[in-house]
Amino acid sequence: MKIIIHGGFFSESSQSAETKLAKQQALSRIAETSYNYLKTHTALQTIVYAVELLENDELFNAGIGSQIQSDGKIRMSASMMDGLTKRFSGVINIEDTKNPIRVAEKLFTYDDRVLGGSGATHFARHNGFEKCSTEIPQRRKEYEEKLASKGIGTVGCVALDAHGNIAAATSTGGKGFEMPGRISDSATSAGNYANNDCGVSCTGVGEDIVSAAVATKIVTRVSDGMLIDEAFEKTFNELKSIDGFAGAIAIDKFGNTYHQNSHPTMVFASYDGVTLEVFN
């Protein structure tokens, strides 16, 4: 069993030493808590649980603490994928919802498994997800100062359970000050993908991740026989050709974890019940 989580890029919030330490501590806590949950739950259940914890922490750009778009509204996206069944579900540009990943989970059993905009928000209300503002004062201040460049990142989790099943989930509050209607990678297979061989969750600039099909390529290459580090190297070399900004975390079926980013500021943690690693 193994779990790896990411909290996006360090640059999305205050870059003080206090914030850096707080993010490290939060990632450590969430990684350990989620691993303990994994002991008695499936990989699919665990990725939702872990991402919900990340969404609930205002240090991260997802759920509470999401970025504000150029029209003053917060729109979030989230998705999940089960490597065992190959099912994918997600919400795009959902509003006033505390935990978008839980709405994606609710959609997982439906035939129509990816909803966007007002449809996603209506589905959430119809299924008992209460209206909730996810705005915090820091994001309002950033919006008012038009600091769009501060917001590039998401949160995510990949888990390998005791039965050898892999699942991945990703959630984002956007890049900040973007055009209303803009769609990121987080609720697409480019940013979140898993099968029996590997699972990947991405963070960074959604347009770059979609252009390079980062998660899908890494997982496909591992499935085709590449080692996980080789799959990352090839995919990120392709990302360089478009000067892409991205980071990714992964677990393969053998329990190998791997991470890489085009700019060394991604924050993440991994835990296997013995060794806890936290990076920033």
Domains of the chain, residue spans: 2-279
**For residue range 167-194, what is the model confidence (pLDDT) as tens digits?**
999 999 988 888 999 999 999 999 999 9
Q: Are 260 and 217 in contact (CB under 8 A)?
A: no
Cβ-Cβ contacts under 8 Å for 213 (sequence gap 6 or more):
189, 190
Annotated active-site residue in 154, 170, 172, 188:
154
Res. 10 pLDDT band, cuts 50 70 90: low
Report field, pTM of the whole predicted structure over 0.85: yes
Report d(CA 92, CA 196) in Å as an integer.
Answer: 26
275 is catalytic: no
* Nearest to 263, CA basis, from 221, 214, 205: 205
Q: CA geometry: angle at 103 spanning 213 and 154, to 5°?
A: 45
Least confident among 36-45, 95-104, 153-162, 258-267: 258-267
Domain 2-279 has CATH 3.60.20.30: yes
- SS3 at position 55: helix
Alpha helices in 108-205 (DSSP H): 117-126, 137-144
**For residue range 102-151, what is the model confidence (pLDDT) as tens digits?**
999 999 999 999 999 999 999 999 999 999 999 999 888 887 875 444 45
Strand partners, 152: none
Token pair 């665990």 is at which residue? 46
Average of per-residue pLDDT across 90-110: 98
Report d(CA 191, CA 210) in Å as an integer.
Answer: 7
